[in-house]
Chain A
């Protein structure tokens, strides 16, 4: 049994990793929790965001944290266009169709990326990439600590938008009662597209905060899709706080799993949880009882 000196840093690392997962999951929480769209393209779109941040740094020398001003708005526009132009048209009323369409989009995006960017893994070099912060005796990489803060700020911003702005009210209205919302004059297509765009913008934020401590290649999205879904399901399908907490929990479980079971097997813990939660408590740990 490893002693506390190993466990605590592992837990803290897990929490900061979990924050990154939570960032990815926040967008999915909005898209699935509110719109009931299973966005299979989530990982692929994250990957696009990561490439964008990468090229901004590699070609133009723009720091990822500065790219926060560029990438999220661009991703928002992309998301809006995708929902309005493709996803929205394909559903024909069936949930599974959206699943298939976003799967198709994911395949297209990933493979076009493979074609254009080739399969090499790339990382960026920033002056702070290897700086660490000492917390409770654990030396946590600075980028991950920044990501942790970023996740909380993003969640707070999302909550503000949903609770206090007209757009947020419209989104909630459409999520609850689509026909009624249309009857009172809300342009539901536009609202759906705005919501999807917002969710993808979150991925842009995630990409900016993630790349300094991570890497990018065309397959990088795969690892995040199921984890993001697990967090959404765990956290209650629509609760941002739930997604944050879910992210931390998953991060810690992964760290613990890695500690006790080894790198590769550690991931199994996450999927096992996903399966169990879906089977026994599909509204998540924080969701309402169905």
Chain B
């Protein structure tokens, strides 16, 4: 029924002279997500508007679904695009449109005209009034409400054509990918970290990821699960480069050398150190974690501080003040939840003390880590040298 979509974007509009950078990034990402969709699409920028036009037959539902995964889009409006052939032709197009969309429904409406083409023979109020009157006459079930209409019928008189639309399908919001550099996500198989990656990516950040694999304590299936999760997140963030780090030896060394109630904190400090090294090597400007205050012993405020102690790069923790239910809601929305709850990796608990410290002191942790001095640097280097890189798309 529609061959075109008008794309509304929010914050980009206010970015001054950089605006074209943001718009270009948005268009590039739209092309990427529409590529696998059935149909041929033309994306055009015109005076602060972006249009997607489909040529011939295309998959309407999939097109909408794909565009709904493009950060930066706040609304997708299925639109009727017409050349200006005089007011009578416009009126006829509007009536056709109303018949197709709202035949026999009891609703209120309002006509909202924007006259970008200042040469149009009628003024905006004149168009509103004339079209509103004709609609009222033709549709006995519709009535006018200028304050809170059910249907806001937009008529946009542009310099080259006219837009007619009334439906705005919400987009994800946020900023176009690639407008805010790249960051390294610490991805586990859990519920939180994929959500954290999604949320930061939504602000225009490209995401790479690192997963700490500990065979035989974590299985190949657990690794596959992380790859699958990255795949789900990549639907929003574009391709993800997943670094798989073998962490077993480091884990066992820490176990052998350090107090057991500090195992988790020290382990996490090494995960951060390795992630940071990877980030620096691959041009990432920050780390992303799924930490949330108080969720587990290693995420109390003192624990977070102790973990953060080893980081020089900024660490983004978008879920820091989220309750679990809120995280789960996002996980369900982006379709990672079902994968996250698969039970493949409870074996790592071997390296978790029954009663881990909840108020670690940074000084003490640093002292405990001295026991690792002899070998740890070589082990970290070895872990980085033997990383496996998986391109997830």
A associates with B: no
Residues of B within 8 A of A (CB): none
Residues of A within 8 A of B (CB): none
